[in-house]
Amino acid sequence: MLHFFEKHGFFVASRLADRLGMRATNVRLFFVYISFVTIGIGFGLYLTLAFVLKLKDMIYTKRSSVFDL
């Protein structure tokens, strides 16, 4: 099973590398790096939104009546 995935699993990277005139190792490395970057962007976006929502909750408080001023 391992031999099958080693032989056929990287066929996409190999074909893309052949089309671009690059080595397949560089294409695979690019895919690894881009996956780390996209996960990092999602986590950073999550933290930013959490900070903005916490800041909004601190500034804007819901008042139940006019006399709570």
For the residues of 6-65, what is the DSSP string, one character each?
HHHTTHHHHHHHHHHTS-HHHHHHHHHHHHHHHHHHHHHHHHHHHHHHHHHHHH----SS
Say which amino acid occupies 25: T
- Domain ranges across the chain: 2-60
Question: What is the reported pLDDT for 2?
Answer: 64
Question: What is the reported pLDDT for 56?
Answer: 83
pLDDT in tens, 19-62: 899 998 898 899 889 988 888 888 888 888 889 888 887 787 66
Question: What is the reported pLDDT for 39?
Answer: 87
Cα–Cα distances (Å) from 8 to 13, 23, 35, 51, 62, in that order, read 10, 17, 21, 45, 59
Question: What is the reported pLDDT for 21?
Answer: 92
